[in-house]
A and B are shown apart, each in its own frame.
Chain A
Amino acid sequence: MTHASLARKYEPRHAPEGPRAATSAMIASLAAEGYDTVAAPFGQALVDLARRDDRVVGLSADLAKYTDMHILAQAMPDRFHQMGMAEQLLMSAAAGMAREGFLPFATTYAVFASRRAYDFIAMAIAEENLPVKICCALPGLTTGYGPSHQATEDLAIFRGLPNMTLIDPCDAADIQGMVPAMAAHPGPVYARLLRGKVPDVIRRHKPDYRFELGRAQMIREGGDVLVVSTGIMTMRALDAAVRLEAEGIGVAVLHVPTIKPLDRDTILAQAGKGRLLVTAENHTVVGGLGEAVATTLMQAGVTPRFRMIGLPDEFLEAGALPTLHDMYGLSVDRVAETIRGWL
């Protein structure tokens, strides 16, 4: 008997006419049209940090190449530990090295850290407030490989974990800034990672932008809508804002790269200005930025019109990333269209 949810696999498919969108490979960089890119900003920033700070070591669970940790491994091989395909060990060993005074940066994919290694992050690292810096590629919907590789609920999982600081960077500027900030922070940090050629977006819109841990920053002003966004959705929100501006719709963008602790003061100050408030995140709408902002607003008695852009509470499809971003509402077209529809 075929379970109803599996019936679709028995429907034959046909290749579409014309150029065919390829499934985005894991090594593909996230596209953002018209922006400069920076090569491996995480790896480069980590090497810079390691040269300044003897305590810094890198560990990876057989994904150095796919998390840009290979940059450190090549530049400073004695500072890199290959832990093998063993994520529970990766986190435990990072905890052990932190106990001995080191500043371990541990990398894998976000799905493996959040799902497979959670207990080890919770008990060996977070409970003891050790300075392990967990940096994870393929956050949210940034691969077309399907649910095994799409970490759509990692922020929800880690938001509930005491002592943990959470960062969802937008672009190369955020990644370059977050690496030294993570090292300077005394406790554990979970950061989502973009790898490969990473777009340099925010500085195009705000040239003096610098990442600051725990701080939300206005990237652009606008009178009709306030988008409170994190991660790559700030990229999408900025592009959508430019498009909507041409239609006479003023869209402000407040970028919130630190999900926890949340910069409540800045969010509340901006939320109280009478605009439609739209949260935007590359994450399920369950337990991420949107719900964190909603809680903040409710508790403060600040009640703007409120809407959320994010991934549905579903396991997502496999396919080409641009197709999937359109399908699930994360593309610039869809963000602009969605906001327009709410006005």
Chain B
Amino acid sequence: MTAIQRPAYGSNISLARRAWAIRRHALRMGQVQGQGYIGQALGIADVLAVAYFHGMDYRPEDPEWEGRDRFLLSIGHYAIALYAALIEAGIIPEEEIATYGMDDSRLPMSGMASYTPGMEITGGSLGHGLGIAVGMAMGLRRKKNPAFVINLMSDGELGEGSTWEAAMSASAQGLSNLICLVDFNDQQADGPSTQVLTAEPVADKWSAFGWHTQRVDGNDIQAVRAAFDAARAHPDPQPRVIVCDTTMCKGVPFLETREITHFVRVEADEWDRALAVLDEGQPQ
């Protein structure tokens, strides 16, 4: 279970550098359209870096390789973040950044399975990913395929009833090949998630549903990496969840401190400034 051949295995590129590059790709895509869910992309970049360069097995040249760990983007509007990770992973050419959101692009604003290599499902109708992940985990187990299914969802999706149908089912079936990542940035369309519907204690809810539960600072790469390792290695027959507390717009301080909403406004002249700020902090 732990002896996987990750693309980044042996690479001397640090996870911090990968996260920085993911943020950079995402900002460049946002700049193409003058908009995008950049706050979420900057916030989740560290988690994606760990997933794609430490926690998952896949083959960039063959995104449908049967042995791959399946990464499901339940939150379709985070597509800009996943595209950035897929670009960094070598699944999508970097040149396609310039096509983001355009006609005939493989990078539509909301993620869809039929458009983009590496995009496993069509997300966007929230509360769908975890249920599909349950079915895929059932299918993998039936095939005796040791791959994991990793579902990335948002705190807002904790309000969808279907999430808890799936959570119960994963637990009832002991789906130990399922890892759910919850991006807890405490922002949804109408305000802070914890004030809309998703009350604390969130981790206890997952535990009560029978999941192996961890809660980490989602912008602390070492913590996320340790949580991934623990989730993969956990010996008991139960699904695993990592609740990742993240900061919207992480890595671009002048956006971080902005009064953040679900869809952060970035003015036309601010994209270059954001890229410049990011570049100042470029890790090795």
Interface string of B162-200 (1 = CB under 8 A from A): 100110110010000000000000000000000000000
B281 CB–A CB distance under 8 Å: no
Which residues from A are CB-within-8-Å of B162?
Answer: 88-89, 92, 120
Asked if A96 contacts B134 (CB within 8 A), the reply is: yes
Contact with A along B11-35 (1 / 0, CB 8 A): 0000000000000000000000000
Query: Would you mind naming 16 contact pairs between A and B with Cβ atoms under 8 Å apart?
Result: A57-B142, A86-B165, A94-B135, A96-B131, A96-B135, A96-B137, A97-B142, A99-B120, A100-B138, A100-B139, A119-B125, A119-B128, A120-B128, A123-B122, A123-B124, A124-B132
Asked if B136 and A96 sit within 8 Å, CB to CB, the answer is yes
Are A96 and B139 neighbours in the complex by a CB distance under 8 Å? Answer: yes
Q: Which residues of A contact B105 (CB under 8 A)?
A: none
**Contact pattern, A 66-104, Cβ under 8 Å of B = 1, otherwise 0:** 000000000000000101101011011111111111101
Given known A84-B168, A101-B143, contact A96–B161 (CB-CB < 8 A): no
Q: CB-CB < 8 A to A95: which residues of B?
A: 131-132, 135
B140 part of interface (Cβ distance < 8 Å): yes
**Nearest-neighbor residue (CB-CB) of B141 within chain A:** A100
Indicate whether A53 reaches chain B with its CB closer than 8 angstroms.
no
| Partner of B131 from A81, A89, A122, A128 at Cβ < 8 Å | A89
Q: Are B132 and A93 in contact (CB under 8 A)?
A: yes
Residues of A within 8 A of B127 (CB): 88
**Chain B proximity of A63: nearest CB distance (Å):** 15
- CB neighbours (8 Å) of A102 from chain B are 139, 142
Q: Would you call A124 and B169 a contact (CB within 8 A)?
A: no
Shortest distance from the beta carbon of A34 to any chain B beta carbon, whole Å: 44
Q: In the assembled complex, which residues on chain B have CB atoms less than 8 Å from the CB atom of A83?
A: 169
Q: Which residue among A57, A83, A92 has the maximum number of chain B CB atoms within 10 Å of its CB? A: A92
Residues of B within 8 A of A127 (CB): 112, 122
List, in ascending order, chain B residues with CB within 8 A of A89's CB: 131, 134, 162, 165-166, 169
With the chains together, A89 CA to B134 CA distance in Å? 8
Kindly identify, within residues 107 to 141 of chain B, every residue whose CB is under 8 Å from any CB belonging to chain A. Answer: 112-114, 120-122, 124-125, 127-128, 130-140
Minimum Cβ distance to chain B for residue A72 (Å) = 15
A contacts with B: majority SS? helix
Interfacial chain B residues near A96, Cβ < 8 Å: 131-139
Closest approach, in angstroms, between the C-beta of B18 and any C-beta of chain A? 27
Q: Cβ of B130: which chain A residues have Cβ within 8 Å of it?
A: 92
B132, A92: Cβ atoms closer than 8 Å = yes
How far, in whole Å, are A45 and B142 apart by their CA atoms in the complex? 22
Question: When the two chains form their complex, are residues A88 and B161 in contact, meaning their CB atoms are under 8 A apart?
Answer: yes
Given A84-B169, A86-B168, A101-B143, does the pair A92, B125 have CB atoms closer than 8 Å? no
8 Å CB interface, A168-196 against B:
none
Q: Is the CB of A100 within 8 A of B140?
A: yes
Q: Which residues of B contact A88 (CB under 8 A)?
A: 127, 131, 161-162, 165
Contacts of A99 in B (CB 8 A): 120-121, 132, 135-136, 139
Contacts of A120 in B (CB 8 A): 128, 131, 162
Complex Cα distance A83/B168, Å?
10
- Identify the closest chain A residue to B166 (Cβ): A89
**Cross-chain contact B139 with A101 (CB below 8 angstroms):** yes
Given contacts A89-B166, A120-B131, 19 further A-B contacts (CB under 8 A): A84-B169, A86-B168, A89-B134, A92-B128, A92-B162, A93-B131, A95-B131, A95-B135, A96-B136, A96-B138, A96-B139, A98-B135, A100-B138, A100-B145, A101-B143, A102-B142, A124-B128, A124-B132, A128-B114
| Interface flags, A141-181, vs B, CB<8A=1, else 0 | 00000000000000000000000000000000000000000
Report yes or no: A128 in contact with B122, Cβ–Cβ below 8 A: yes
Report whether A93 and B134 are in contact in the complex, using a CB–CB cutoff of 8 Å: yes
CA distance A95 to B112 in the complex (A): 15
Q: Are A97 and B131 in contact (CB under 8 A)?
A: no
Cα–Cα, bound, A238→B154 (Å): 55
Q: Identify which of B122, B125, B139 contacts A97 (C-beta below 8 A).
A: B139
A214–B168 CA distance with the chains assembled, in angstroms: 39
Give, as a whole number of angstroms, the nearest-CB distance from B174 to chain A: 13
Chain B residues near A57: list those with CB within 8 A. 142
Q: A88-B162, A123-B122 are in contact. Are A97 and B128 (CB under 8 A)?
A: no
Q: Indicate whether A123 sits within 8 Å of B125 (C-beta atoms), given known contacts A92-B166, A93-B169.
A: yes
| CA of A57 to CA of B138, assembled, Å | 11
Complex-state Cα separation, A93 to B135, whole angstroms = 4
Known: A94-B135, A99-B132. A128 touches B113 (CB 8 A): yes
Could you say which residues of chain B place their CB within 8 Å of the CB of A123? 122, 124-125, 128
Chain A CB within 10 Å — which of B114, B127, B136, B161 has the most? Answer: B136
Chain A residues with CB below 8 A from B122, complex form: 123-124, 127-128
Q: How far is the CB of B7 from chain A (nearest CB, A)?
A: 22
Which chain A residue has the least Cβ–Cβ distance from B131? A92
Interface centre among B121, B130, B135, B169, by most A CB within 10 Å?
B135
- Which chain A residues lie closer than 8 Å to B166 at the CB level? 86, 89, 92-93
Task: Provide the bound-state CA to CA distance between A17 and B62, in Å.
Answer: 74
Nearest first, the 3 closest Cβ-Cβ pairs linking A and B are: A96-B135, A92-B131, A100-B139
